[in-house]
Amino acid sequence: MPTLLIIHHTPSPFLQDMFEAVLSGATDPEIEGVEVVRRAALQVTATDVLAADGYVLGTPANLGYMSGALKHAFDTFYYPCLDSTRGRPYGAYVHGNQGTEGAERSIATVTTGMGWEQVAAPVIVTGPPDKDDRERCWELGATVAAGLMA
C-alpha cells in the first residue's frame, strides 16, 4: 500500500488548522489504498522517509526561512534518503505573519536537491487561515494522496 508522509512543524493554532485540513484531504474516504502517516518534524526519521511514497511538508516561516524543526528534519534524512527518494511527489504548506518567500525558497531548494517532484502548488497563508485557505490545504492533502493511489 502506498504511503503518504506528512512532515510538519505545528507550533501555532493557525498551523494546526492548516495541518488538520491537509490531513482531512489526504484521508478523504474517496482516496482508497493510501496509508497516511504523520510525523512531527523533530521526530521524523530517515526510515520514515524511505518507507513513504510521497510527502507533504508543513512549516511556519520563521525569520524568512523554514522552521528550524523542518530544517533539522532535512538535515537528519537528506543524505540517507538522497538517492532512494528521487522522483517522489511532494507538496508543501507555509504559514507566516509576514513574508514567506524565504521559507518557500528554502523548501524548494532542498526538495530540488532531493530530486522530489512538486505535484501541487504550495499553500501559502499569511495571518489567520480563512475558509478558502483551509480548502486549499484540504486540496493539497487530497492531491498528493490521490496521486499515490494504485
Dist CA 75 CA 56 (whole Å):
17
Q: What pLDDT is attached to residue 122?
A: 97
One-letter identity of residue 101: E
Q: What pLDDT is attached to residue 98?
A: 83
**Cell numbers 530544517: residue:** 71
Dist CA 98 CA 34 (whole Å):
35
Contacts of 23 (CB under 8 A, 6+ apart): 6, 36, 38, 141
Binned at pLDDT 50, 70 and 90, residue 50 comes out as very high
Closest alpha carbon to 70 in 89, 86, 84, 90 = 90
Residue range 62-101, pLDDT digits in tens? 888 999 999 999 999 999 999 999 999 999 999 998 889 9
